[in-house]
């Protein structure tokens, strides 16, 4: 068997959580392979809404194993809060949530370092989620990290040493802080982690594959936030792309199966950094309002704009996407016309390849399509789609060269339409 992957193709928040939940019944195992509590994956079903940060989105579909993979950075305090919230709503996790021994820990001082580095950057702030993601991955790459497996070996010594090193950096940066409360919550979180099964996830996953088990790898963030291929330096600190599933789970490249690429019918971004199709006018505000585009973790208003097919084509190339999933189609229900960016104009030249540098000289070139002015939210099958919506789907498929297999028409699990027609 192979591992199918589900990846955000834009700047995150595409709706990954919802679709992982919808696809989970077809799988035995769902595994997160990178990122940490910077993610906020929202799921809605039976009138309830849940936001997951580190726990994979397959957790609500009974009997499935969910794994926090080695590529993830885990904050014990936030993990504890997440576990307790789910348990309080009647979901028992301990028998189906496993954690990789090789996943790295976000220490309480990583969060402080995240704040300190951001404040030092002044106007060039990344606009991070402030969850210590960058500093935790920096320690991982710098070979100073603490791993879940360290809880079983000389943990106190390693922890004390790492905290002392971070405190010294904070002191040198003249950053004022109080770590006592953070540390207390963090240590309580460690006890929560110990309640779960800690596994050698690389062996576990490969054994499962050889036994014929079906595995879905859940990405966090999106391709345009990837550390190598995103809009650097305004990115996150991990490989969010398909290759990240190989390193973040210990799966060989030849064992990757379907690559689901997920995108919104328009585009959003949180935090700083280039966004060629961003709208600063009432149309942008209309998308924000209709799409409830406010961060699920930070509550920050998301920047909104038209769909960017140049960036999407790039993401599809980097990820090797085999099937597309279009989300939040219903948010576009009330527009007379909808624009799609098909190329950029840079210094008078038309460019179709996503460029190295995105600055003020990059101008999006649009094709204008008719809106459908129809409520999609109650539709059950593609036979009900209005002609203009079908034309929008076909235009995207033709421009990107990959079929759109699933269309989402609302936040609920049920508002999901699988397309069968060949385009």
Which residues form the catalytic set?
13, 41
Nearest CA to 80 out of 69, 90, 88, 70 is that of: 88
Neighbour-count burial of 387, counting CB atoms closer than 10 A to its CB (0-12 exposed, 13-18 middle, 19+ buried): exposed
> For residues 333 and 302, is the Cβ–Cβ distance under 8 A?
no
Which of 54, 57, 100, 236 is in the footprint of ligand IMO by CB under 6 A? 236
Say which entry of ligand IMO, ligand GDP, Mg ion, none residue 201 contacts (CB below 5 to 8 A, set by partner kind). Answer: none
Q: Does 409 bind ligand GDP (CB under 6 A)?
A: yes
CB of 202 to ligand IMO, least distance (A): 23
Q: 7: closest CA among 341, 256, 188, 338? A: 256
Q: Does 128 bind ligand IMO (CB under 6 A)?
A: yes
> What is the C-alpha radius of gyration for the chain, rounded to an integer number of angstroms?
21
Among 225, 227, 265, 316, binds ligand IMO (CB under 6 A): 225
CA atoms within 13 A on the CB side of 89: 13
The answer to whether the CB of 59 falls within 8 A of the CB of 51 is: no
Among 69, 134, 189, 244, contact with ligand IMO (rule: CB under 6 A)? 134
Q: Using the rule CB under 6 A, which residue among 126, 136, 225, 327 binds ligand GDP?
A: 327
- Residue from 4, 13, 150, 226 binding Mg ion (CB under 5 A): 13
SS3 of residue 395 by DSSP: helix
Q: Binding ligand IMO by CB under 6 A: which of 39, 146, 205, 265?
A: 39
Q: Which two tokens stand for residue 74?
A: 């885990």
Q: Per CB under 6 A, does 271 bind ligand IMO?
A: yes
- Smallest gap from residue 195 Cβ to ligand GDP (A): 26
Is 116 one of the binding residues for ligand IMO (CB under 6 A)?
no
Kindly state whether residue 410 participates in binding ligand GDP, applying the rule CB under 6 A. yes
- Residue that has been written with the tokens 């194993």 in this structure: 65
Residues contacting ligand IMO: total by CB under 6 A: 24
SS3 207: helix
Interface characters, 162-201, with ligand IMO (x: CB under 6 A): ----------------------------------------
C-beta separation of 59 from 83 below 8 A: no
Torsion of CA 114, 115, 120, 121, to 10 degrees: 70
> How far is residue 372 CA from its own chain's centroid?
29
Provide the token pair at 318. 């980097």
Among 3, 16, 77, 105, binds ligand GDP (CB under 6 A): 16
Quote the CA–CA distance of 98 and 114 in Å, as a whole number: 27
Cα 83 to the chain's mean position, in Å? 19
Q: Which residue has the tokens 């003249």?
A: 174
Shortest Å distance, C-beta 378 to ligand IMO: 27
Q: Does 262 bind ligand IMO (CB under 6 A)?
A: no
Q: How far is the CB of 49 from Mg ion (least distance, A)?
A: 13
Between CA 362 and CA 284 the distance in angstroms is: 19
Establish if 14 lies at the interface with Mg ion (CB under 5 A). no
Name the residues that contact Mg ion, by CB under 5 A: 13, 40
Name the residues that contact ligand GDP, by CB under 6 A: 8, 12-18, 39-42, 44, 292, 296, 327-328, 330-331, 408-411
Name the residues that contact ligand IMO, by CB under 6 A: 8, 11-13, 35, 38-41, 126-129, 131, 133-134, 220-222, 225, 236-237, 270-271
């Amino acid at each position: 068997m192979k591992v199918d992957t589900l990846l955000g193709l834009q700047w995150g928040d595409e709706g990954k959580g919802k679709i992982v939940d919808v696809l989970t019944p077809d799988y035995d195992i769902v595994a997160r392979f990178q990122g940490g509590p910077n993610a906020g994956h929202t799921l809605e079903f039976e009138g309830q809404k849940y936001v997951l940060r580190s726990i994979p989105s397959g957790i609500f579909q009974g009997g499935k194993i969910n794994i926090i993979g080695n590529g993830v950075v885990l904050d014990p305090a936030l993990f504890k809060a997440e576990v307790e919230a789910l348990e309080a709503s009647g979901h028992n996790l301990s028998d189906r949530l496993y954690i990789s021994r090789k996943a790295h820990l976000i220490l309480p001082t990583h969060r402080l370092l995240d704040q300190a580095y951001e404040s030092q950057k002044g106007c060039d702030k990344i606009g991070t989620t402030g969850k210590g993601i960058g500093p935790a991955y920096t320690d991982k790459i710098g070979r100073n990290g603490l791993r879940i497996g360290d809880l079983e070996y000389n943990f106190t010594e390693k922890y004390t040493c790492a905290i002392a090193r971070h405190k010294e950096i904070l002191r040198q940066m003249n950053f004022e802080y109080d770590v006592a409360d953070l540390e207390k919550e963090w240590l309580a979180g460690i006890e929560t982690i110990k309640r779960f099964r800690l596994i050698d996830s690389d062996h576990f996953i490969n054994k499962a594959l050889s036994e014929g088990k079906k595995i879905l790898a859940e990405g966090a963030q999106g391709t345009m936030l990837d550390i190598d291929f995103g809009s650097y330096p305004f990115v996150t600190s991990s490989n969010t792309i398909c290759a990240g599933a190989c390193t973040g789970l210990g799966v060989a490249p030849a064992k990757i199966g379907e690559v689901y690429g997920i995108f919104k019918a328009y585009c959003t971004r949180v935090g700083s950094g280039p966004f060629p199709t961003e709208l600063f006018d009432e149309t942008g505000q209309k998308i924000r309002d209709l799409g409830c585009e406010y961060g699920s973790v930070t509550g920050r208003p998301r920047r909104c704009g038209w769909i960017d097919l140049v960036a999407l084509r790039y993401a599809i190339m980097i990820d090797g996407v085999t099937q597309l999933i279009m989300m939040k189609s219903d948010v576009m229900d009330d527009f007379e016309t909808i624009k799609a960016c098909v190329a950029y104009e840079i210094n008078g030249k038309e460019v179709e390849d996503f460029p190295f540098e995105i600055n003020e000289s990059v101008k999006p070139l649009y094709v204008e399509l008719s809106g459908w002015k129809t409520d999609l939210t109650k539709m059950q099958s593609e036979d009900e789609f209005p002609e203009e919506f079908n034309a929008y789907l076909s235009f995207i498929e033709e421009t990107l060269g990959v079929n759109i297999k699933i269309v989402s028409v609302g936040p609920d699990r049920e508002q999901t339409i699988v397309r069968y027609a060949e385009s």
